[in-house]
Amino acid sequence: MHRRDILEKLSQFVPLDQRDSECRDRFVEFIKANQDCFERSLEIGHITGSAWIVNPGRDRFLLTFHKKLELWLQLGGHADGNADVFEVALREAREESGVSNIAPLSERIFDLDIHRIPEHKGVLEHLHYDVRFICEANDSKELTISDESHDLRWLTAEEVRERTTEESILRMLRKTPRLSE
């Protein structure tokens, strides 16, 4: 996989609104301007991969309470040089949940988000250019909380809204097909 592969995925991304379109354009600009965009060592920011995990009924969502950021978030993480962000998203989701049977619903990009990561333990403030894929897993499987999290659980749409005001999470909730309220 190379930068051209993520650029191809971005060209196939169907924006739902102006925000999606502008975000996609910023991704393309960032990737074209930074040969090392998949490396954590790129101090201004880097590409990350995430999985928005839904249960088969599309009425529960697997979120983690992130230790460093103190927020309920989707599972995902750094590419660390891997240009295959789809593979990164699946790997990170499996590592952070202990669930091995996470299956992608599509290899197409589900959502894009650019967010600020505050300075932490000598790592300067930077941006994460997060590429998100929608995946499915059985919500009856036992979960394993990683050392990056305080908590990990399946939440209903209502519980997600009670725990976060993060627009990127609420946006993915709205984008979820056949969402049961």
Superfamily of domain 3-175: Nucleoside Triphosphate Pyrophosphohydrolase (3.90.79.10)
pLDDT at residue 178 is higher than 80: no
Q: Report the alpha-carbon distance of residue 6 to residue 93 in Å, rounded.
A: 19
- Distance between alpha carbon 156 and the CA centroid of its chain, in Å? 18
pLDDT tens digits along 123-152 = 899 999 999 999 999 998 889 888 888 899
pLDDT at residue 179 is higher than 70: no
Tokens 């995946």 sit at which residue? 135
Q: Per-residue confidence at 181, pLDDT binned at 50, 70, 90?
A: very low
Tokens 């169907």 sit at which residue? 14
Q: Per-residue confidence at 68, pLDDT binned at 50, 70, 90?
A: confident
Domain boundaries of the chain, sorted by first residue = 3-175
Q: Report the alpha-carbon distance of residue 54 to residue 150 in Å, rounded.
A: 20
Q: Which residue has the higher pLDDT, 124 or 180?
A: 124
- Nearest CA among 170, 181, 151 for reference residue 52: 170
**In the chain, what percentage of residues exceed pLDDT 70?**
97
Q: Per-residue confidence at 3, pLDDT binned at 50, 70, 90?
A: confident
